[in-house]
A and B are shown apart, each in its own frame.
Chain A
Amino acid sequence: MLKKIAIASGKGGTGKTTVSVNLYYFIHKYWTDKVQLLDCDVEEPNDLIFFPEAREKSFNVVNQQVPKIDNSKCTYCRDCVEYCEFNAIVVIPTVKFAEVNASLCHSCGACLHACKHGAMLEYDHKIGEIKKFDLGIGLGLIQGELEIGSSMQTMLIKDVIKEYNPETEIVLMDAPPGTSCPVVTTSADADFILLVTEPTPFGLHDLQLTIELMREIHKPFAVIINKDGIGDGSMEKYLEAEDIEIIGRIAFSKEYAANYATGKILNNLDETQDSFYRNLVMNLKEKLN
């Protein structure tokens, strides 16, 4: 049975990528080799960095459909302007000017329905790429990479999360930071969400926002406290008061940070890490079965 786990955080830099990459490795080791990792942080995808042996298998371009106005057919009636909720179309009848601002367009298609003169045409506008990698173990990595300058990260994420291999049993989705639409899109399909946080005031504040979101979208979740030992005790107090499960703790270590820095989190696995992730995998397996 296919199960999907999203790894999210609210605050950036708390360890989503570290947990995602490790889970991929340890799910393969202790659960199933039919595991796939989806890097949904399309603005800044980093999972690939930790798999130096990765081989690119395929890539495809993702486009958004942006309308263009055919001036020979346009009657400057402004019906399209009326329909566009995103103020992306400017029509000035007196000077026969009609144009779509691609960076404001959400590609909803409303203007095509508005235009009765066949003056609205759509063309492809690149928003990013989806690359698939063989990682030697498991079913590999799928990475979305947003085109520089595009604001359509949510649209690209929607495409990334559809790309998983049909044979996959576990899909891991590494979410972008924040609590807005890109995170919702990544989590919407998930059976379970792991929230990776750090016990600092910023970490706590952003975790609270994320938990509010998880409750609103009715998703089961548990918290991993990373960099355990820094900060104060307010994180513990909050989680206890709210009766939120702490599914794991990773102690802060400057040495680990240095391994992370050089991309070597899977080359330096020790017994502590192995047993931590084995427990986490077993725990997740129980929850999801």
Chain B
Amino acid sequence: MKEITVLSGKGGAGKTSITAALVSLSERAVFCDSDVDAADLHLILKPEVKESYRFDSGYKAIIDSVKCIDCNICKEECRFDAIHTDKGFYEVNPFQCEGCRLCERLCPAEAIVSVKNENNFWYVSNTRFGPLVHARMGPGEENSGKLVTVVRRKAREIARSLNYDFILNDGPPGIGCAAISSLTGTSGVLMVIEPSMSGLHDAKRLLDLINSFNIKSYAIINKHDISNKLTDEIVQFLKNNNIPLLGKIPFDTMFTQAMIEGKSIVELYPEAKSSKVLKKIWDYILVN
């Protein structure tokens, strides 16, 4: 089975628009939105939700101020500075609490309880192109990396059960926990690089991450005509690192137009230059 994750380091490079285009070119594939934090792929794929699950992202502590004896042990021992006393009593800022439950265990007055987060969901859906596994995180939630692992695991399970041999993941920006979870154990990473100094800087950090996991990578330069200078630099960077450049896509308002119509560029404008480049890219990925 082949599993490819689309990543960029920098946000806004075009990961989701390009993933959507590849999705609409694919056959017998399972799709997965690994950008659980600000997921957008569903806006194009318009999934019909078949199964819905609650994701257990851990606990948050709550202090019962009636039972609290103001001993300060919880505040002293909390390494996340999540316990505050500015209101005259001890309370937990839920957004800072990591859910380690240390305060609960140490509280001599048994004034602290931990409650489960119930704000995160993930779904198995049907789309016009095939099955999609995606998620919706509650705002400000933690453990997006763990949620990515959950959706990817389900996508693999579905692919196996349907006997499909391809999984396409839309990845998150950055190179932190969510990005790491979206690429470990995949067969390859498709890097989408925007020709700007930021785009190149971020792609370099991304490539270091990919290489640290010994994963194969290929690249696309998106909006290449924004800067010929930076496009040349990126081409050189890819050459120096033996990364195949699968294609260059021009800056194209058709991507935005397709997004507004809820379609991929390939669906809406099959004859557009960008669509043709994307078709070639997809054919390459299928056999390499």
Chain A residues proximal to chain B, CB less than 8 Å: 10-14, 17, 41-44, 46, 49, 83, 85-86, 106-110, 113, 146, 148-154, 158, 176-185, 188, 200-202, 205-206, 209-210, 212-213, 216-217, 230-232, 254, 257-258, 260-263
Question: Within the assembled complex, what's the spacing in Å between the Cα atoms of A213 and B59?
Answer: 19
- Apart from the given pairs A149-B209, A261-B227, 4 other A-B contacts in the complex at a CB distance below 8 Å: A12-B11, A178-B172, A180-B139, A200-B260
Question: Within the assembled complex, what's the spacing in Å between the Cα atoms of A122 and B79?
Answer: 14
Question: Within the assembled complex, what's the spacing in Å between the Cα atoms of A205 and B101?
Answer: 34
| 7 closest A-B pairs by CB | A13-B12, A12-B11, A108-B100, A151-B177, A213-B139, A43-B174, A261-B227
Given contacts A106-B98, A178-B172, contact A216 B140 (CB under 8 A): yes
Q: Does B198 lie within 8 Å of A17, measured CB to CB?
A: yes
Partner pick for B145 among A151, A158, A230, CB 8 A cutoff: A151
Q: Does A260 lie within 8 Å of B38, measured CB to CB?
A: no
Partner pick for A231 among B178, B180, B260, CB 8 A cutoff: B260
Contacts of B72 in A (CB 8 A): none
Q: Does A181 lie within 8 Å of B175, measured CB to CB?
A: no
Question: Within the assembled complex, what's the spacing in Å between the Cα atoms of A253 and B99?
Answer: 45
Contacts of B139 in A (CB 8 A): 179-180, 209-210, 212-213, 216
Contacts of A83 in B (CB 8 A): 101-102, 105
Question: Within the assembled complex, what's the spacing in Å between the Cα atoms of A209 and B95?
Answer: 16
Interface segment, one of B153-161, B189-197, B271-279: B189-197
A195 → chain B closest CB, angstroms: 13
Q: Does B230 lie within 8 Å of A261, measured CB to CB?
A: yes
A113 → chain B closest CB, angstroms: 7
9 pairs of residues in contact across A and B, judged by CB atoms under 8 Å: A11-B38, A46-B202, A83-B105, A85-B100, A151-B176, A151-B177, A152-B177, A176-B173, A181-B142
Contacts of B177 in A (CB 8 A): 151-153
A267 → chain B closest CB, angstroms: 13
Q: Does A148 lie within 8 Å of B38, measured CB to CB?
A: no
Given contacts A11-B40, A181-B142, A202-B259, contact A217 B95 (CB under 8 A): yes
A156 → chain B closest CB, angstroms: 9
Partner pick for B12 among A14, A107, A146, A205, CB 8 A cutoff: A14
What size tier do the contact residues of chain B reach? 35 or more
Question: Within the assembled complex, what's the spacing in Å between the Cα atoms of A185 and B11?
Answer: 19
Question: Within the assembled complex, what's the spacing in Å between the Cα atoms of A106 and B144?
Answer: 14
Question: Within the assembled complex, what's the spacing in Å between the Cα atoms of A46 and B173?
Answer: 14
Contacts of B58 in A (CB 8 A): 85
Q: Does A177 lie within 8 Å of B176, measured CB to CB?
A: no
B125 → chain A closest CB, angstroms: 16
Q: Does B105 lie within 8 Å of A262, measured CB to CB?
A: no
Question: Within the assembled complex, what's the spacing in Å between the Cα atoms of A44 and B205?
Answer: 8
Contacts of A232 in B (CB 8 A): 260
Contacts of A49 in B (CB 8 A): 197-198, 201
Question: Within the assembled complex, what's the spacing in Å between the Cα atoms of A194 and B158?
Answer: 41
Contacts of A110 in B (CB 8 A): 100-102, 105
B13 within 8 A of A: yes
Q: Does A258 lie within 8 Å of B226, measured CB to CB?
A: yes
Question: Within the assembled complex, what's the spacing in Å between the Cα atoms of A209 and B140?
Answer: 10
B91 → chain A closest CB, angstroms: 14
Q: Does A113 lie within 8 Å of B11, measured CB to CB?
A: no
A218 → chain B closest CB, angstroms: 11
Partner pick for A46 among B145, B201, B253, B262, CB 8 A cutoff: B201
Given contacts A179-B37, A232-B260, contact A44 B202 (CB under 8 A): yes
B212 within 8 A of A: yes
Contacts of B40 in A (CB 8 A): 11, 201-202, 205-206
Whose C-beta in chain A lies nearest to the C-beta of B180? A151
* Mask of B146-182 contacts with A, CB within 8 angstroms, 1/0: 0000000000000000000000000011111111100
Question: Within the assembled complex, what's the spacing in Å between the Cα atoms of A232 and B180?
Answer: 34
B237 within 8 A of A: no
Question: Within the assembled complex, what's the spacing in Å between the Cα atoms of A11 and B12?
Answer: 7
Q: Does B140 lie within 8 Å of A180, measured CB to CB?
A: yes
Partner pick for A179 among B102, B137, B196, CB 8 A cutoff: B137
Q: Does B102 lie within 8 Å of A261, measured CB to CB?
A: no
B81 within 8 A of A: yes
Given contacts A200-B256, A263-B197, contact A10 B38 (CB under 8 A): yes
Given contacts A43-B175, A231-B256, contact A149 B212 (CB under 8 A): yes
